[in-house]
A = this chain, B = another copy of it.
Amino acid sequence: MNIITISREFGSGGRELGKYLADLLGYDYYDREIVAAIAGQKSLDEKYVEKALENHIWQTVPLTFRQSFAGVNRMQEMQTGLLLEQTRVIEGIAKAGKNCVIVGRNADVLLAGEKPFSIFVCAGMEAKIQRCMERAPEGENLSRREMEQNIRRIDKNRARTRELLGGSRWGSSSAYHLMINTTEWNIKELAPAVAEFADCWFRR
């Protein structure tokens, strides 16, 4: 079974790259599907689950993941429960044994034993703001400054969740097999080269 994991800075195009890779390689693709599975298990709204995982407050939780939850307030308890469920869902994907691309959610840390090919996708701030602006849902009228704050906040949370899960430092070159800066690329044109890389990894 070949697993490709994609960690990414918000707005860098990691999701788009993941989709192209799955298409090119004929792999299953997991991203929001994971949120949907968690929401289903917990009987919660998908959007709510997504927001809770994205805006969590792990940083204030004074304990190691999976340890006792005594003393943690209700909100944190619920968010920890979602993170645990996410872990179960991702482990379930691996157990299914099919080649796949998993975007985000620290899948490279959770599935380290499966030796995934781990990619980190990043981009310059201006490129990320531009991408987010172009893809903003209707009615969301954030200024460039607000968009930048949004990007920084989400990435900070991603880094903290990774830390909580015991993974190597988020965005650090030694933590991934390949890091791609998409600032000056067209992601569709770039995808076959990444697929070649992944293929090279799994053929070792």
Contacts and interface: CB of A to CB of B under 8 A. Distances in A.
A173 B204 contact: no
Given A173-B171, A174-B122, A181-B176, A200 B192 contact: yes
B174 A181 contact: yes
A178 B181 contact: yes
A178 B180 contact: yes
A173 B120 contact: yes
Contact of A204 (B171, B180, B186, B203): B186
Interface string A179-198: 11101111001101110110
A186 B203 CA distance: 11
A40 interface: no
A177 B173 contact: no
A190 B120 CA distance: 18
Interface in A64-90: none
Nearest to A123: B174
A153 to B, nearest CB: 18
A190 B185 contact: no
A124 interface: yes
Nearest to A200: B193
Contacts of A179: 120, 173, 176, 178-181
Contacts of A193: 193, 196-197, 199-200
Q: Which of A185, A189, A190, A200 has the most CB of B within 10 A?
A: A200
Given A193-B193, A193-B200, A200-B192, A178 B177 contact: no
A184 B200 CA distance: 12
Given A186-B204, A197-B197, A181 B192 contact: no
A200 B194 CA distance: 10
Interface of A: 120, 122-124, 171, 173-174, 176-181, 183-186, 189-190, 192-194, 196-197, 199-201, 203-204
